């Protein structure tokens, strides 16, 4: 083997590795895109939405036509790891589909208002087999609506933690307020201010 053929092989290997990495970052549509059948909460709509916002905030939401929603945030986005999975109900699925229709994602996708606060990369498939792949710079009403619905659903991942916290009681709150009122400026909560 000559040096040239070795270099070509190495370049080919590097190119294939880069392509595989890019493919795995966005995922292969055939792995998760589905129409969801007649009971699809989204009417057969599948969406992958990647948002990069201020201070390098990154969120990826993946919704399949059968209502399965996957969430990744922060470092998980770069590592192509979803940290939460949940389901979209019919009402939310229909609201998402309505926003996509009003935004004409499959006809004339939105491009945004040019605001540099965030950028959206969106891929979408519908039950008719249409595919949309577009980028939105800044705000676009239909994109924000879809994101808000999906993010609201994904936020339920915190419910089990919040539900486990003790409920604040009125007695406990009154004791806290009393302790604050009785605290002296010197920092000794046991002593009273001499000006009283």
pLDDT in tens, 141-157: 999 999 999 999 988 76
Using one digit for the tens of pLDDT, what is the confidence trace for 167-194?
777 777 677 777 777 765 555 555 454 4
HEC per residue, 54-69: HHHCEEEEEECCCCEE
Using one digit for the tens of pLDDT, what is the confidence trace for 85-138?
999 999 999 999 999 999 999 999 999 999 888 899 999 999 998 999 999 999
For position 15, what pLDDT does the model report?
Answer: 39
For position 161, what pLDDT does the model report?
Answer: 62
Mean pLDDT of the chain: 79
Helix (H), strand (E) at residue 11: helix 3-26
Domains assigned to the chain: 36-157 (3.30.1560)
How far, in Å, are 41, 42, 56 from residue 92 at the CA level?
A: 8, 8, 28
Higher pLDDT, 186 or 21: 186
Looking at residue 187, the DSSP 8-state letter turns out to be S
pTM of this structure = 0.67
Decide if 140 contacts 102 (C-beta within 8 A).
no
Decide if 165 contacts 155 (C-beta within 8 A).
no
Inform me whether the pLDDT recorded for 18 exceeds 70. no
């Amino acid at each position: 083997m000559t040096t040239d053929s070795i270099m070509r092989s190495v370049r080919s290997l590097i190119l294939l590795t880069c392509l595989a990495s890019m493919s795995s970052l966005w995922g292969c549509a055939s792995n998760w895109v589905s129409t969801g059948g007649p009971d699809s909460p989204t009417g057969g709509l599948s969406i992958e939405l990647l948002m990069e916002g201020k201070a390098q905030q990154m969120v990826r939401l993946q919704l399949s036509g059968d209502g399965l929603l996957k969430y990744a945030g922060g470092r998980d986005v770069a590592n192509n790891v979803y940290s939460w999975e949940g389901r979209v109900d019919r009402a939310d699925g229909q609201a998402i589909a309505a926003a996509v229709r009003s935004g004409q994602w499959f006809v004339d996708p939105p491009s945004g208002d040019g605001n540099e606060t965030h950028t959206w990369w969106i891929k979408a498939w519908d039950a008719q087999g249409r595919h949309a792949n577009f980028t939105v710079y800044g705000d676009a009403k239909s994109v924000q609506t879809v994101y808000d619905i999906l993010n609201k659903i994904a936020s339920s991942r915190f419910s089990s933690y919040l539900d486990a916290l003790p409920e604040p009681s009125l007695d406990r709150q009154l004791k806290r307020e009393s302790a604050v009122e009785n605290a002296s400026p010197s920092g000794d909560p046991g002593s009273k201010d001499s000006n009283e």
